[in-house]
Amino acid sequence: MDTIANLLTAGQFFVVIAGELILLFIGITFLVGLLHAYVPEERIRGVLTGKRPGTGNVLGAGFGALTPFCSCSTIPILLGLLDAGVPFGVCMSFLLASPLLNPVILTLLAALVGIVPTAIYAGITFVAAVGIGALLGRLGYERYVRDVTVAGRPEPCGCNAGHGTRIRGAFTFAVALFRQVLPYLLLGAGIGAFIYGFVPEDLIVAVAGPANPLAIPVAAVIGVPMYIRAETIIPISAVLLEKGMGIGAVMALIIGGAGASIPEVTLLAAIFERRLLAAFVAVILGVAVFAGVAFQVLAVI
């Protein structure tokens, strides 16, 4: 009887959380599609080219937050920026912000953990992207970028297109992205439902609760090889928090998994030499641990 009850509980959780996330995702993705229609990549390159390091890093991180949501899209845009002569440090701010600060991630996170934690998360990751990008540029890490030629550059999107054309383009963008991300959302909701229905709270508290001093760094480290997209880990995080996992460990897991996933690191290996690649991974893990500790301290206060 306990198994049946657990299955019913898990099934109910899956339906509710999956439905909420899908509705949120569809709405916010369409808005992001409109943003892309009116702020195309070639305009971003033009704005970032020639900017001074400080201003450029802020703009780079800001534009990174508006880009598509996986390494498959971010890396080609990064190559385009480098090829257009955008300063290296500015490009790194873009790269660091892109997977962690897009509107979909922030919206889903706000729905599940609240506006205040999401605002803190956004502030920490944005400041880190700006500061670390500027630091890597100042330290001369540009010399560790391989000489990669950008082939097949995309055609301009047509900035003079009418509003109807742009709205249809935004709808097409939203549908394509929804099809791409839906499996990850459902996977996350499914894993979360299983944890909700079958994993004892005592086990989660013992392994990753606030009392375990190693929970945050371990969560940051395991996030990378797990390759959990942020769209997948966020519904899981909601359950882990409810079961007793510390919010610091949850945030470290999100940043580690989304910021330095194995596919992204693999793609960057074709662009960056080992020293720069190692610095990138170390930076992501450092930000994950710092953010986790900050969240844990604020939770206690």
Burial class (CB in 10 A: 0-12, 13-18, 19+), 300: exposed
pLDDT value for 18: 73
Backbone angles phi, psi at 180, to 5 degrees: -70, -40
Q: Is the whole-model pTM more than 0.75?
A: no
d(CA 48, CA 56) in angstroms, rounded, equals 6
Q: Kindly state the DSSP code that residue 72 receives in the 8-state scheme.
A: H
Sign for the CA dihedral angle at 109, 42, 75, 167 comes to positive
Q: How many CB atoms lie within 10 A of CB 58?
A: 19
Contacts of 139 (CB under 8 A, 6+ apart): none
Question: pLDDT below 50 — which residues of the chain?
Answer: 150-158
| Type of residue at 245 | M
DSSP 8-state class, residue 200: -
Q: CB–CB of 80/45 below 8 Å?
A: yes
pLDDT at residue 143 in the model: 92
> Where are the alpha helices (H) located in 84-229, listed in sequence order?
88-97, 103-113, 115-138, 163-198, 201-208, 215-226
Residue 298 pLDDT: 83
Give 50-69 pLDDT, tens digit per residue.
Answer: 667 688 899 889 888 877 55
CA dihedral 61, 67, 68, 71 (to 10 degrees): -40
Does residue 71 contact residue 119 with C-beta atoms inside 8 Å?
A: no
Q: How many angstroms from the chain centroid is the CA of residue 23?
A: 19
Q: How far is CA 24 from the centre of its chain?
A: 17
Residue 261: exposed, middle, or buried by beta-carbon count in 10 A (0-12, 13-18, 19+)? buried
Report how far apart, in Å, the C-alpha atoms of 206 and of each of 177, 202, 234, 291 are: 38, 6, 21, 21
At 272, phi and psi to the nearest 5?
-100, 145
pLDDT for position 154: 42
